[in-house]
Amino acid sequence: MATTTVERADPDSAESAVPPERRARPRPGRLSRSRHRAMRALRRTTGRKLAFRLVMLLFIGLIAASYAVPLWFQLQGDKLLIVTSGSMEPQIPTGSAVVVHPISSPAELRVGQVVSFWPLDKPEMLTHRIIALKHVERRDKDNATIRDASGRPITDPYIQTAGDNNRPDEFGNPQPDPNLTPVGQVRGIVRDVHAGWGYLLAFAHSGQGRFLLFVPPLLLLLGAELMSRVPERWSAANWNKTLIAIRNRDSARGGPLARSESKTDHELDE
């Protein structure tokens, strides 16, 4: 029986023996497309992170503003009060926030000033204009006038107020409020008016406002914490490794870094 010896071709010599038109050509398009897909995914992830940070900054800014604005005026020695009625329109629209400066003496009050005070006949604070300063005799429980040692009546300072938008009287002036107000009930003189601030501050300090300001960012933080605990093989955090893996995979499949392979026929003659 005749034996035929088969010599195996060297890969380099086999590659050179293959005609140029039959050699495997690099296919850079697949690697380029893979890189583009990876970079698009990276940009999407970066965009999501940027959007997350912007949303968190927005909520933090709103929360800080809702508490910092009243605190700022308080540090200045003033108070920020919300106007809920239209009795002082158009100068003080409904929903405005007024800056009230406390008084230390009745001598600071003048006719024409706008003041915030607690009326004797209503449970809520009012902000009206002073139309008169009066002194009322002090009386005892029997409605008798109280006098001092020299026999002169003792008087207390009162203010008479009216809202600019009160119903006009027969002379066209706003009708005064029904009762006088002791000066001790005055909380301060209105120094400034910020239209629209009252609506925002009232909402931010309401139950619904606190829920909308605090719950969404807390849920976002919780979601970010949960996502940070996802295994790395399920995440797309390390894009350098991802690109290397894509390059190695495509190179092994005939990409630009792969070597051309040729087939060698083996014949056995018996």
What pLDDT is stored for residue 264 in this prediction?
41
On average, the pLDDT of the chain sits at 77
- Are 185 and 103 contacting, i.e. CB atoms less than 8 angstroms apart? no
- Report the percentage of the chain scoring pLDDT > 70: 67
When mean pLDDT is compared across 29-38, 49-58, 208-217, the lowest value belongs to 29-38
Is 80 exceeded by the pLDDT of residue 93? yes
CATH of 83-195, one of 3.30.70, 2.60.40, 2.10.109, 3.30.2320: 2.10.109
Residue ranges per structural domain of the chain: 42-67+196-226, 83-195
Contacts of 139 (CB under 8 A, 6+ apart): 145, 146
- Greatest Cα-to-Cα distance within the chain, rounded to the nearest angstrom: 156
Question: Residues 103-109: what's their mean pLDDT?
Answer: 90
- Residue 171 pLDDT grade (very low, low, confident, very high; cuts 50, 70, 90): confident
Tokens 């849920």, located at residue: 219
Give the whole-angstrom CA distance, residue 184 versus residue 117: 9
Q: Please determine, for residue 37, whether its predicted confidence score (pLDDT) is greater than 80.
A: no
Share of the chain above pLDDT 90, in %: 24
Confidence of residue 247 (pLDDT cuts 50, 70, 90): low
Q: How far apart are CA 11 and CA 25, in angstroms?
A: 16
pLDDT band at 242 (very low <50, low <70, confident <90, very high): low
Kindly state the helix (H) or strand (E) to which residue 211 belongs, with its residue range.
helix 207-228
- pLDDT tens sequence across 130-166: 999 999 888 888 888 888 888 888 889 999 999 999 8
**DSSP strand E in 57-148: where?**
79-82, 97-101, 114-117, 126-137
Among the listed residues 89, 204, 110, 123, the one whose alpha carbon sits nearest the alpha carbon of residue 157 = 110
Q: Which of 107, 127, 109, 108 is nearest to 117 (CA)?
A: 127
pTM (two decimals): 0.60
Say which range, 23-27, 77-81, 123-127, has the weakest mean pLDDT: 23-27
In this model, does residue 28 exceed pLDDT 60?
Answer: no
Per DSSP, what are the bridge partners of residue 155? 137
**Cα 2 versus chain centre, distance:** 91
pLDDT at 159: 94
Residue that wins the pLDDT comparison between 244 and 141: 141
Residue 129 pairs with which residues in a beta bridge?
Answer: 114, 162
Integer angstrom CA distances of residue 13 from 7, 9, 232: 12, 7, 44
Please state, in angstroms and as integers, the Cα–Cα distance from residue 55 to each residue in 48, 52, 59, 144, 200, following that order.
10, 5, 6, 67, 19
Higher pLDDT, 238 or 50: 50
Coil vs helix vs strand at 145? strand
